[in-house]
Structures are given as C-alpha cells and as structure tokens.
Amino acid sequence: MLFAQSEEKIRIEAYTRHDNAMRKVFTRCNFQKEGYLRHSWENDDGTVDNSLIYAIIRKDWEQKTKTPVKIDGVPY
C-alpha cells in the first residue's frame, strides 16, 4: 500500500464512474465514499457520466477502520 511507501502521504483518493465495479473494491479496501460528482466523467465517445470519489486516510489505514464522512447540514 502507498502509505507503507511514504510517511508523508496522509490521504489517498480514487475516482471512478458510477457504474464501475471498482466501487466494491474501494469499499472492501476500507475507502470511504466521500462524494457523488454529477456529469464529471468524460467518456471517449463524448458522453458524460456521473462519478464518485473515495478516499482513505492514513489513520484509518493504520487502525483498519473507516471514519464516516460528517455532513454539516448546510445547504450550500
């Protein structure tokens, strides 16, 4: 894992299309889903899809846990 290769690394992010099976892989590897990005993935054929961002932070990786994302409820 990248955290083992660099002590300076504090966070790893991954982006994927909404319909990609990698979503299950990220979840199994303790990545936390942090956002849903609308019309953000440009395909080779010119179409645009939604995507998701997943991330894992060093603390969660070290403790083999997953910290839930806190949403503050602010509408903007």
- Which residues partner with 54 through β-bridges? 14, 33
Domain boundaries, the chain: 2-59
* pLDDT in the model for residue 9: 92
Q: Which amino acid is at 14?
A: A
* pLDDT in the model for residue 75: 63
Q: Model pTM?
A: 0.85
Q: Which two tokens stand for residue 38?
A: 């609308």
Render the chain in DSSP notation, one character per residue. -HHHH-TT--EEEEEEETT-THHHHHHHTTPEEEEEEEEEEE-TTS-EEEEEEEEEEHHHHHHT--PPPPP-----
* pLDDT in the model for residue 1: 64
* pLDDT in the model for residue 5: 87
* pLDDT in the model for residue 25: 96
Q: What are the per-10-residue average pLDDT scores of the chain (76 residues)?
A: 85 96 95 96 98 96 91 73
